[in-house]
Amino acid sequence: MNRDIVIAAQALHDIHKPWVFQWQDNGVARTEYSIAGTGSHHILSLAELIHRKMPAELIVATACAHNHPGSSDDERDVVNWLRAAAILAQEDVVSLGLLADSGKTLPLPRNPEGFITHLGDHDWVFAAPCTKWMIANLEKIAQREYGISDTELQTKKFYAFRNYVFSQATLEQLYFILAKRGETSLVETVKSIVA
């Protein structure tokens, strides 16, 4: 296995998230639209790698972050994402070596790096519920400690507060503090960030 490909694919597969999820003037992140059945950040990241002439093995492994080629249906997703990215980059997906000569599968034999990249992207299993829980906790802290009202929780006032806190500590870090040390430690951590 090529360890460098796995690390690079994992590091690069979300490179367009900061662009796709920009904070708007009201503090809310932009809505992410879908391209080829997945979040546009994924396709745009692949297109960037194609445009920059990254190695085919790296691009294919990166494409596998959102799904794996372990079944025909799952591999079809990855193939379609590579096709969409190649269209955006104005390149031919087969001639770049991103698909087999048939254009229907990934290059054969399928490299294990794609499967490992897919497993590495499973942080969402924890991150998605963690986001929901930590926003709810931050709402309580904002109201209790900073006087933000119920109605202000849906305004720029709270969103700016939330975005700042979450830009200084990850949702997962804050959740671990809550889970392992309790609510008082979470409040103290938030106060140390905002201070």
Q: What is the pLDDT of residue 123?
A: 85
Q: Which of 80, 101, 120 is the last residue of a domain?
A: 120
> 180 pLDDT exceeds 90?
yes
Question: Which tens digits make up the pLDDT trace of 53-111?
Answer: 999 999 999 999 999 999 999 999 999 999 999 999 999 999 999 999 999 999 999 99
Do residues 114 and 43 share a domain?
yes
Domain with 159, as residue range(s), is: 124-194
Of 72, 87, 120, which one is at a domain's C-terminal end? Answer: 120
Contacts of 134 (CB under 8 A, 6+ apart): 166, 171, 174, 175, 178
User: Pick from 120, 144, 159: which residue ends a domain?
Assistant: 120
CA 154 to chain centre: 24
Residues 56 and 137 in one domain: no
Q: Is 167:181 a contact under the CB 8 Å cutoff?
A: no
Total domains in the fold of the chain: 2
12 and 107 belong to one structural domain:
yes
Residues 80 and 164 in one domain: no
Tell me, yes or no, whether 45 and 132 share the same domain. no
User: pTM for this one?
Assistant: 0.84
- Do the Cβ atoms of 27 and 159 come closer than 8 Å? yes
Distance between CA atoms of residues 195 and 189, nearest Å: 10
Are 87 and 149 in the same domain? Answer: no
Asked whether residue 66 falls in the same domain as residue 101, the answer is yes
